[in-house]
Amino acid sequence: MNGLFIGGEWLPGSAGEFDVENPADRTVIGQVADGGPADATAAVDAAAAALPGWSAMPPRQRSEILRRTYELMIRDIEELTALISAENGKSLSDARGEVTYAAEFFRWFAEEGVRTGGDYGVSPAGGTRTVVTHKPVGIAALVTPWNFPAAMATRKIAPALAAGCTVVLKPASETPLTALAVTHLLVEAGVPDGVVNLVPTTDASAVVSTWMADARVRKISFTGSTGIGRVLLKQAADRVVNSSMELGGNAPLVVTEDADLDAAVAGAMIAKFRGGGQACTAANRFYVHADVADAFTAKLGAEVEKLTVGPATEGSQIGPLISAKAVDGVAALVDSAVAAGARISHRADIPDSKGYYFPPTVLVDVPADADLVTTEIFGPVAPIVTWTDEAEMLRLVNASEFGLAAYVFAGELQRAMRIGEAIDAGMIGINRGLVSDPSAPFGGMKQSGLGREGARAGLDEFTETQYLSIDWP
């Protein structure tokens, strides 16, 4: 069913239904129940009722449900791949990779969740023993974006459930079908009623504000824009709510004069064009040493011009952007850069279609202060800025208010690591164009967010630390 999922039941939405569109051709591919504030409260009611039983369940038992969900996602990988491609537009290859990545969070946290940890010690002053434990934070509100509709949901659901929390989830209105499918698999895996509650909506502000105002909600985990993240943090501050924020990015990609250019281009194609550049970790601005800029641009441009753009069903490598607004925004950034002196050096073809397509593009002679460089593009555009002085390059790299991801390609590993360590970002790809892994702590610095997802840190985000001070005469 494409309804709300609250307390183990599929329900209609209080605001009716809304259409879900395929951005490749703008056809309607489904209708989903549209939730409102009353539904948001009902979801918290269900999560509150389920919390005592779920948090008291032995970790191994919770782990088995998560492990089973992983297995079910792998079983249904082709159906989930097709669903992601249909509502998000990304290529089948990218969508299939996302399903594998998304499923892995259930397996990782199934294993990590049984390692409950804790500590025991003797007070230095004597007279007491201290036992440190970790408790589930409680009901967690999860808000996910449209660019990775499976992975962003599982990256939050899995650690929350492993920690013993119950959840209320609001997926992006552009891509709710994948979250619905994952919820179905959780139910099939045996998750108890009320542990996972899903509220799709076209009125995100009303639903999320309801959760933020509810004293029973003790955790907010949000992935999205920095602007909305700031609003949620202000709301969280009113009640001192535990907050995890994965926000905007503006990832630099650095190429030194001694880099292996073929490897750098291969990495750049992944870092920039995976998912059409619609990723918070996507390489957004290229800093290429002047001695190799022409050669790098020629090699990168040749690969870009070979990209096939179109619907996933036609075997394309690059799909559409998510909306007409997204296309207009990317086009405006490119036009502004060209007006400031940049030049389009290479471009791929796009289909004659009603879909929301933008041609993969490489630009050279880009001013370092162009909006195309300082703004998160969220599209398949690679602006190249040249450099000769490493210190000045690092100054430009770190001038951004964002610090999520960065990429460094250099021939000498020690130099690559030195540059990487000098960059103010939470994740650095060294001679590779992919940084995400369930076993690593995903997250950023500065305006790119708070907290981490994945690894042990991802589980800790959903727990509170408590200690017992025991009299020991």
Residue numbers annotated as active site: 246
Distance CA 187, CA 167 (A): 14
**For residue 168, which of 293, 32, 5 has the smallest C-alpha distance?**
5
Q: Residue 204's closest CA among 226, 183, 222?
A: 222
**How open is the CA angle 98-6-104, to the nearest 5 degrees?**
20
Closest CA to 88 of 338, 328, 275, 331: 275
- Only one residue has tokens 């441009």, namely 301
Do 50 and 168 meet the contact criterion of CB atoms below 8 Å apart? no
DSSP β-bridge partners for residue 362 = 346, 382
Contact partners, residue 77, CB within 8 Å, separation at least 6:
96, 99, 100, 103
435: closest CA among 347, 256, 423? 423
Give Cα 345 to chain centroid, integer Å: 31
Note whether 356 and 321 are within 8 A (CB): yes
Torsion over CA: 186, 190, 193, 194 (sign): negative
d(C-alpha 182, C-alpha 199), whole Å: 13
d(C-alpha 200, C-alpha 10), whole Å = 12
